[in-house]
């Protein structure tokens, strides 16, 4: 019979980053088994939604969905549905169309989302042969949510799953999360306590092994096809990591104009504008370490 452990911390290289499962309270449950289930859920999401794996749902859609309806896994269908909702609600700022291979438009990426039809029984159809999608802007958050669900389903009462800064906390016990300053990643900008919720960040890219300087963000503004310029970095807390993950991209592109959308999704945010101002929504709860 496997040993019963009340707490456990494990990390694995997944999703292009390190995924950490930190179980704080598994009293009466098998923590090792629960952690394995959490990692398995992350692997399943990657297998389904990888842009590069030729056997993934995303690759099959990109190859075949413009010719006929393609059946996908319910998880992929659910992520697509949320992505399309996000695209519509953000006036196209959130876009799963791959730059350079979207349907021709006058800069309105919502036409890419408009070319995707979700049909009954988890079937999906593209209405433009040139459309290609990438769920990278939302699938990592969904994977974290699935890992949390796996832990909960195996009796874990308190845990955190962190996938390179996209994280979710299970249980009422608060976890302190440190947020780097996107202008100087070696400096702490904010401390946030998270419980029974999720947090995600997007920012300018930073490679500590090469340089202390940051480079352009990987978040692309669909209206220009270029890296987002209005915001250096954004952190969003929301009920689920999938929502937080997607909203960070919208905040990076739209800045202060995202306030109404954040309210709609019961989310709060902190951002560092390109001019250097640190802005927060009125319901943001975090201890700012540097105000300039």
pLDDT digits (tens, 9 = 90+) for 176-229: 999 988 888 888 899 999 999 999 999 866 555 454 555 667 788 888 888 888
Residue pLDDT, tens place only, 8-21: 999 999 998 999 99
Rounded CA gap, 99 and 61, in Å? 16
Among residues 70, 97, 126, which one ends one of the domains?
Answer: 126
Say yes or no to pLDDT of 134 above 50.
Answer: yes
pLDDT of residue 113: 73
pLDDT of residue 108: 44
pLDDT of residue 201: 94
Q: If pLDDT is split at 50, 70 and 90, which confidence band does 51 have? A: very high
**Kindly report the CA angle at 291 between 191 and 250, in degrees rounded to 5?**
70
Say yes or no to pLDDT of 56 above 50.
Answer: yes
The answer to whether residue 19 sits within a structural domain is no
Among residues 99, 126, 153, which one ends one of the domains?
Answer: 126
Say yes or no to pLDDT of 22 above 60.
Answer: yes
Say yes or no to pLDDT of 120 above 80.
Answer: yes
pLDDT of residue 285: 81
pTM: 0.90
* Whether residue 185 sits in one domain with residue 120: no
Decide: 95 and 105 in contact? Cβ < 8 Å: no
Rounded CA gap, 54 and 73, in Å? 15
The answer to whether residue 20 sits within a structural domain is no
* Total number of domains in the chain: 2
Decide: 244 and 284 in contact? Cβ < 8 Å: no
The answer to whether residue 51 sits within a structural domain is no
Say yes or no to pLDDT of 1 above 50.
Answer: no
pLDDT of residue 100: 53
pLDDT of residue 206: 58
The domain of 76 spans 57-126
pLDDT of residue 127: 93
Task: Enumerate the H helices of the chain as residue ranges.
Answer: 31-49, 57-64, 74-89, 110-114, 139-153, 241-254, 259-264
Among residues 126, 153, 184, which one ends one of the domains?
Answer: 126
Q: What CATH number is given to the structural domain containing 224? A: 3.10.520.10
Provide the percentage of residues in the chain whose pLDDT is more than 90: 68
């Amino acid at each position: 019979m496997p040993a019963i452990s009340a707490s456990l911390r494990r990390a694995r290289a997944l999703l292009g980053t390190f995924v950490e499962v930190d179980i704080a309270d598994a009293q009466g449950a098998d923590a090792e088994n629960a952690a394995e289930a959490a990692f398995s859920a992350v692997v399943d999401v990657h297998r389904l939604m990888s842009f590069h794996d030729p056997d993934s749902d995303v690759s099959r859609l990109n190859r075949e969905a413009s010719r006929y309806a393609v059946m996908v896994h319910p998880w992929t269908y659910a992520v697509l549905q949320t992505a399309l909702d996000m695209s519509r609600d953000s006036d196209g700022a959130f876009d799963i169309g791959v730059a350079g291979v979207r349907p021709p438009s006058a800069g309105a990426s919502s036409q890419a989302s408009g070319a995707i039809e979700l049909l009954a029984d988890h079937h999906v159809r593209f209405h433009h042969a040139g459309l290609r999608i990438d769920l990278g802007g939302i699938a990592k958050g969904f994977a974290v949510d699935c890992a949390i669900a796996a832990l909960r389903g195996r009796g874990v009462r308190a845990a955190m799953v962190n996938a390179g800064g996209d994280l979710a906390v299970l249980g009422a016990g608060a976890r302190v999360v440190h947020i780097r300053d996107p202008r100087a990643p070696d400096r702490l900008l904010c401390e946030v306590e998270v419980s029974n919720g999720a947090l995600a960040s997007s920012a300018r890219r930073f490679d500590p092994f090469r340089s202390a300087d940051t480079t352009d963000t990987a978040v692309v503004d669909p209206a220009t096809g270029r890296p987002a310029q209005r915001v250096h970095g954004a952190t969003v807390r929301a009920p689920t990591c999938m929502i937080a993950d997607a909203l960070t991209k919208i905040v990076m592109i739209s800045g202060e104009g995202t306030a109404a959308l954040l309210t709609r999704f019961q989310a709060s945010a902190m951002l560092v504008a390109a001019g250097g101002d640190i802005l927060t929504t009125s319901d943001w709860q975090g201890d700012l370490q540097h105000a300039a």
